[in-house]
Structure 1
Amino acid sequence: MRYKEFLNYKLSEIGIGTYLGNTDEETDNNYYETIKLGIYKGINVIDTAINYRGMKSERVIGKILNEIDRNKVVISTKGGYITPPPEAKEPARWFKEEMLGKGIISPDDITQTGNVITARYIDWVFETSLKNLSTDYIDVYFLHNPEDQLLNFDKDNFYKKLKVVFRLLEGKVKEGKLKYYGLATWSGFRVSLDNRQYLSLKDIYDMAMEVGGENHHFRFIQLPYNMAMPEAYFLKNQLLDGEYVSTFEACQKLGIYTYTSASIMQTRILGKIPEEVAKLLRVNSQVLAAIQFVRSTPGVGTALIGMSKKQHLEENLKIEDITPVDKSIIDSLIKY
């Protein structure tokens, strides 16, 4: 396994994502076996979110953390979407009594997508994630698709809310419950400046500096990147030092580590990669071509791949026997 050094971490170039799957026991068991095998084979980056499989993905990871050396893995999770626990048999009633009734959420906080980024709600989901994960600390905590806020609120309101939440997360670091935090986005960093959901990485970085000083802990972002969604590499939409650069370039200059999601586009990209492209990437399968493209791209830290079955893990990890291709190959494919 190849590793990337960042701050005090060595992060595996491939990470396990836990988004997909039913909420049943069979899927729990599949994830459990796959993640355990992945750790044995050298993967140390495990990514989840409180809403993935209705908290079930976090709880599977929590079971594993009780059985291994916690310091050997880098656990990231996310908060931002309203998520009833599996025990809530009547989600609407739970929401009314537990969220609205206790003042954790106000109706005015909620976007059309069910996204909430307020300090009170993020505090609740953060602490709930700690319990689900059976751990004393989280390595990386992502605010989940915060650009959804811009569908309902103006930029000034959004940045004010974000600043308050950053202050909360810096507090979690001081309490020893968190190492670093960041944003996990879908659109924000890969759209043009005139898009309503556009996010300026420099503005957000400066806000973290304002809240946490030079030693702030905003050090990670997550965003989609694959052959069908290559904007993070080629779209120069981030203003930095008087020039526009790509999101990956901006991250490298600002000292921010990138997790790429949708690395194989939940398998939807498979079967659509031309044979000559696979040859350029020096692989002989669709899935390895997809992974090779992502992990060979300059600026990519860890490529997250959803893996709930051991056979998929085994297939995906064949990439570790293959050397990454040069930047020139990636550039030629972007123009393909």
Structure 2
Amino acid sequence: MPVSRLATPEGTARYRGRFPHLPRDHFRTFYHLTVSSIGIGTYLGDLSEATDRMQEQALVDAVLGGINLIDTASTYRCQRAERAVGRALKRLEEEHGVTRDEIVVVTKGGLLAFDGAPPDDVAAWFHDSIAAPGLATLEDLAGGYSLLTLPFIQNALARSLENLGLPGVDVYLLHNVEMQLDRVAKGQMKDLITPLFAWLEGEADAGRVGRYGVATWDALRGDFKDPHYLSLAALQAMAKQAAGEGKRPRLGFVELPLNLGMAEGFTRFNQATGEGNVASAVMAAHQLGLTVLTSVPLMQGQLAAGVPEPLAALTPNLTHPAQHALQFARSTPGVGTAVVGLKAPEHVAQALAVAAVGPLKRQDYLTLFQRAE
């Protein structure tokens, strides 16, 4: 059997078949792939080898337990996160027989990514690693670490594939694109993003990318007047232009924070869909045919201390506040996968326990907002 470059419908269905004991609705289908409703993230952690090993083992344990979406980025832990993912994928295949086509790999580019650790002299590093090779200039830099020039993104994807040890990634996201609005007008974002989408269409044709999209922090949560606000319909129009007439663009994913303390992606109606209505980011993405990934379900640990009693009461067989917070995010109507950062064995076990109970029913989830009124 030839080695797959990407996740496949057959491979992800085979992965689902490894877990007959898990609830059917723990897995979802998008773009013909069978994908877990919980994904493992790799953002946090120090730059030690001990953390490298812990992250690698957490990835292996999560995949062996029923999580087949891995979310990473070139900037995470100075590229060490991607390298841990690469080692984990190799172990999963060699030691456990879990093959590449069973796992959905998401990575991102668009932020500065140091090599293993921050350099002593960042200015010299920028000159030698970014400016001198022609990847970008200081004038292209926004917020101190956002770059969206085509040469920089081309280099970032190549570096990510090298770190991961893969010929292709299933999802490639432009990372925190709204940061560029600190240096360009909103009307200029089209000129910045459309060429990147056009290049990513070519990478999809070549099999190095399955789908592409954007990862955001505040672009999809604010109101129309927010300085960092972005329109999903406008992004889709850029992708259609990039793909060319008569072609369906491979724009497929958006990522945004969503948790009990940051629920605007579901509750704030701020996206005109072009279909005559205004919807929340999550609902608009669904209407536009985009899959939603959510981040920071625990609000980077803040929600591990406690959650509202009505939420805990809906899943009494989950005992830890972090589990209830994760359950909230993965149960949000319109969400494809909720990504949670995991390293410690006990945290992996807690996430897998959430997978074992299935998401909240839609009507139960919506009662949480009715009670809050």
TM-score (norm 2): 0.86
Between the aligned partners of 2:320 and 2:343, the Cα distance in structure 1 is 20
Q: 1:208 — aligned with what? A: 239
Q: Does 1:139 align with 2:170?
A: yes
Shift of 1:297: 1.4
Of stretches 126-135 and 151-160 in structure 1, the one that deviates more from structure 2 is 151-160
- Counterpart CA distance in 1 for 2:72 and 2:179 is 19
What's 1:310 paired with? 345
> CA 1:169/1:91 → structure 2, altered by over 3 Å: closer, same or farther?
farther
Q: 1:253 aligns with which of 275, 283, 287?
A: 287
Contact 2:57 2:88 in 1 (8 A): no
SS of match in other structure, 1:183: strand
SS at 2:204's partner residue?
helix
Q: Describe the shift of the 1:91–1:239 C-alpha distance in structure 2 as closer, same or farther (beyond 3 A).
A: same
Distance 2:62 2:187 in 1: 43
Unaligned runs of 5+ in 1: none
Q: Tell me by how many angstroms 1:226 deviates.
A: 0.7
How big is each residue's C-alpha offset from its partner over 1:86-109, in whole Å with a ceiling of 9 and x where there is no partner?
Answer: 277545222211211121111110
> Matches of 2:281 and 2:83 in 1, distance apart?
32
1:31 is aligned to: 55
2:72 alignment partner, one of 34, 48, 70? 48
Matched residue type, 2:259: N
SS state of the match for residue 325, structure 1? coil
Q: Greater CA deviation, 84-93 or 190-199? A: 84-93
- The amino acid across from 1:19 in the alignment is Y
The one-letter code of the counterpart of 1:194 is: K
Q: CA RMSD in A?
A: 1.5
How has the CA–CA distance of structure 1 residues 322 and 178 changed in structure 2, closer, same or farther, with 3 Å as cutoff? Answer: same
Is the partner of 2:29 in helix, strand or coil? Answer: strand
Moved more, 125-134 or 279-288: 279-288
Alignment CA distance shift 1:256-1:98 (3 Å): same
Q: Percent identity?
A: 32
**Aligned pairs, number:** 336
Which residue of structure 1 lines up, in the alignment, with residue 307 of structure 2?
Answer: 273
- For residues 220-254 of structure 1, what are the alpha-carbon distances to aligned partners after superposition, in whole Å with 9 as ceiling and x for unaligned? 01100011111111111110212101111111111
Q: Does 1:238 align with 2:262?
A: no
Residue matched to 2:251: 218
Residues 81-230 of structure 1 aligned to structure 2 (within 5 Å): 81-86=111-116, 89-92=119-122, 93-213=124-244, 214-230=247-263
Counterpart for residue 10 of structure 1 = 34
1:54-99, CA deviations, whole angstroms, 9 ceiling, x for partnerless residues? 0000001111223322112111111111112127754522221121
Aligned twin of 1:327: 362
| C-alpha spacing 1:94/1:312, structure 2 compared with 1 (3 Å) | same
Gaps spanning 5+ residues in structure 2: where?
A: 1-21, 94-98
Give the 3-state SS of the residue equivalent to 1:139 in structure 2. Answer: strand
- Quote the offset at 1:209 in angstroms: 1.1
Query: Is the 1:189–1:223 contact (alpha carbons within 8 Å) kept by the matching residues of 2?
Result: yes
